[in-house]
Amino acid sequence: MLAMDFAAKKAAVLEASLADYRTIHFATHAFVDTRQPRLSGLVLSLVDEDGTVQDGIVRLHEIYRLKLAAALVVLSACHSGLGKQIQGEGLIGLTRGFLYAGAARVVASLWKVDDEATAKLMREFHRRMSSNELRPSAALRQAQVALRQTKLWRDPFYWAAFVLQGEPN
């Protein structure tokens, strides 16, 4: 399934059977509220085809209610791997929501990322997983090394924000 532009709406996430997918990739904006993590979310289309305003934010409590069987969820949005550290509970944020919903692993970012570099990194990451049949951890590492070896993207700012959480293999 590919949901872009107006099709990238909240209903596409909440009403679709995401349990049918092994890999789910959200290439959108995200925000993390470190004071009230339940207010964190993914931002999808905020208007419909007619320009009517719609609720396009998938909040953390809605992510917790998803039923996933995905081996991997990728959140290629800024700050998507952050959250609030709660003693005895750990980090409460988008990553935890997807793990709770059934994803085995989540790739997310730790800071504001560059759009062009992220697009290049994610293409390399997915290509290496599919063509080389690499596990997500190895594919992410190889994609980061490849980006680091190019003059334009050498600085760690461009490739080091993304981390894998969950089962490492």
pLDDT band of residue 7 (cuts 50, 70, 90) is: confident
CA distances from 162 to 8, 40, 44, 118, 167 (A): 23, 19, 21, 9, 15
Q: How many domains in the chain?
A: 2
Cβ 93 vs Cβ 40: under 8 Å: yes
**90 and 72: one domain?**
yes
Whole-structure pTM value: 0.93
**50 and 84: one domain?**
yes
Q: In which domain, by residue range, is 11 found?
A: 1-112
**151 and 98: one domain?**
no
Q: Which of 97, 112, 127 is the last residue of a domain?
A: 112
**13 and 76: one domain?**
yes
Pairing, β 41-43 against β 29-31: antiparallel
**102 and 126: one domain?**
no
In this prediction, residues 153-158 reach a mean pLDDT of 96
Sign of the CA dihedral 102, 66, 14, 17? positive
169 occurs within a structural domain: no
Q: Which of 112, 138, 154 is the last residue of a domain?
A: 112
- The SS3 call for residue 1 is coil
124 occurs within a structural domain: yes
**36 and 51: one domain?**
yes
**35 vs 93: CA distance, rounded Å:** 11
**103 and 80: one domain?**
yes
pLDDT band of residue 169 (cuts 50, 70, 90) is: low
pLDDT in tens, 12-61: 899 878 889 999 999 999 999 989 999 999 999 999 999 999 999 999 99
pLDDT in tens, 100-143: 999 999 999 999 999 999 999 999 999 999 987 899 999 999 99
Q: Return phi, psi of residue 22, to 5°.
A: -85, -30
What pLDDT shows up at residue 17? 82
**37 and 118: one domain?**
no
pLDDT band of residue 167 (cuts 50, 70, 90) is: confident
Tokens of 12: 């596409």
Residue among 67, 62, 73 at smallest CA distance from 122: 73
